[in-house]
Amino acid sequence: AELPPPYTAIASPDASGVPVINCRVCQSLINLDGKLHQHVVKCTVCNEATPIKNPPSGKKYVRCQCNCLLICKDTSRKIGCPRPNCRRIITLGPVMLIPEEQPAQPALPVQPDGTRVVCGHCGNTFLWMELRFNTLAKCPHCKKISSVGSALPRRRCCAYITIGMICIFIGVGLTVGTQDFARRFHATYVSWAIAYLLGLICLIRACYWGAIKVSYPEHSFA
The catalytic residues are 72
Cα 198 to Cα 160: distance, rounded to the nearest angstrom: 10
Which DSSP letter does residue 208 get?
A: H
Neighbouring C-alpha atoms within 13 Å toward the C-beta of 197: 6
H-run or E-run covering 20 = strand 20-22
Length of the chain: 222
What is the bridge-based pairing of β-strands 214-220 and 145-148?
Answer: parallel
Cα 184 to Cα 3: distance, rounded to the nearest angstrom: 83
Angle between helices 151-177 and 188-211 (to 10 degrees): 160
Give the CA distances from residue 162 to residues 33, 170, 189, in Å, rounded to whole numbers and listed in that order. Answer: 74, 12, 24
- Angle (CA) 91-94-96 rounded to 5° is 135
Cα 149 to Cα 213: distance, rounded to the nearest angstrom: 10
